């Protein structure tokens, strides 16, 4: 599971790459079993050449020393660290690998900002990466990049469609899973089923009240029309 800090680094890096004019996607599997890179960016330069950048996000010393393969196959390759971690391991970073430092925005400053900030922090380059030739076949890398982009689009569409993608049986099973401790007769507000039934009842009462109000409105209009019709006849008799 990703920690909150990791997610903050990830979202800030995404925005940084976007603002640089690059296409970017997270968790891309590399060709030739070169591992999975945390973030990969693709950018076409003014002269038409393509520049690939790989980013590995690390938030703890144990994470940095993990045996997981580092997929630094791009033209430029970077570690992304919080400042504290960088201070601890900066002497262990290979000469050709760059470093970007994440710093969180001050909470008070965020609250006073005139508009909502797009990221929880910002990045600075502490060490520039050295250029290297792409370490994998570019066509294969492009194919993997596109596949990862499609995965993210598919996820977004599923979120947009929401629960309509699931059958009634699937939804029922999921509701059963939510009630792992069983039915609590002393705290009904904790039971999904009671909450659901209460909502249904509230919706039904609201719908009936709206219909009753509409009927009363129609009745009052008809009553006024009837009075208007009867009033002239009454004056004639007088």
Same domain, residue pair 57 and 11: yes
pLDDT tens digit string along 9-54?
999 999 999 999 999 999 999 998 889 999 999 999 999 999 999 9
Same domain, residue pair 29 and 53: yes
Phi, psi of 3 (to 5 degrees): -75, 165
**Count of other CB atoms within 10 angstroms of residue 177:** 9
Return the sign of the alpha-carbon dihedral for residues 8, 10, 13, 15: negative
What residues contact 230, with CB distance under 8 A and at least 6 apart?
A: none
With CA atoms as reference, report the closest residue to 28 among 182, 155, 149, 189: 149
pLDDT tens digit string along 196-238?
666 677 777 777 777 888 788 788 888 887 877 766 655 555 5
Whether residue 37 is contained in a domain is answered as yes
Which residue range is the domain that position 219 belongs to?
168-230
Helix, strand or coil, per DSSP, at residue 194? helix
Phi, psi of 79 (to 5 degrees): -90, 145
Number of domains present in the structure of the chain: 2
Same domain, residue pair 38 and 84: yes
Same domain, residue pair 205 and 119: no
Same domain, residue pair 31 and 85: yes
- Kindly state the tokens that stand for 30: 């590399």
For β-strands 36-44 and 50-57, DSSP reports them as antiparallel
pLDDT tens digit string along 88-104?
999 999 999 999 999 99
Whether residue 147 is contained in a domain is answered as yes
Angle between helices 192-237 and 168-178 (to 10 degrees): 120
Whether residue 73 is contained in a domain is answered as yes
């Amino acid at each position: 599971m990703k920690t909150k800090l990791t997610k903050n680094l990830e979202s800030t890096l995404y925005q940084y790459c976007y603002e640089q004019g690059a296409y970017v996607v997270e968790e891309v599997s590399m060709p030739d079993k070169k591992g999975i890179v945390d973030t990969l960016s693709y950018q076409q330069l003014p002269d038409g050449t393509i520049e690939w950048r790989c980013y590995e996000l690390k938030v703890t010393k144990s994470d940095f020393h993990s045996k997981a393969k580092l997929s630094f196959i791009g033209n430029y390759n970077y570690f992304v660290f919080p400042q504290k971690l960088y201070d601890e391991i900066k002497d262990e970073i290979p000469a050709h690998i760059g470093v970007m430092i994440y710093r969180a925005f001050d909470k008070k400053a965020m609250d006073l900002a005139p508009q909502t900030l797009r990221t929880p922090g910002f990045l600075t380059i502490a060490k520039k990466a050295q250029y290297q030739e792409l370490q994998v076949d570019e066509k294969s890398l492009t194919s993997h990049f596109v596949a990862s982009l499609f995965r993210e689009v598919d996820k977004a569409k599923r979120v947009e469609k929401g629960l309509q993608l699931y059958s009634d049986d699937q939804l029922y099973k999921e509701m059963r899973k939510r009630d792992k401790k069983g039915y609590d007769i002393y705290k009904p507000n904790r039971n999904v089923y009671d909450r659901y039934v209460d909502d249904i009842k509230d919706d039904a009462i609201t719908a009936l009240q709206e219909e009753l109000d509409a009927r009363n409105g129609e009745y009052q209009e008809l009553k006024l029309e009837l009075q208007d019709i009867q009033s002239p006849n009454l004056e004639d008799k007088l």
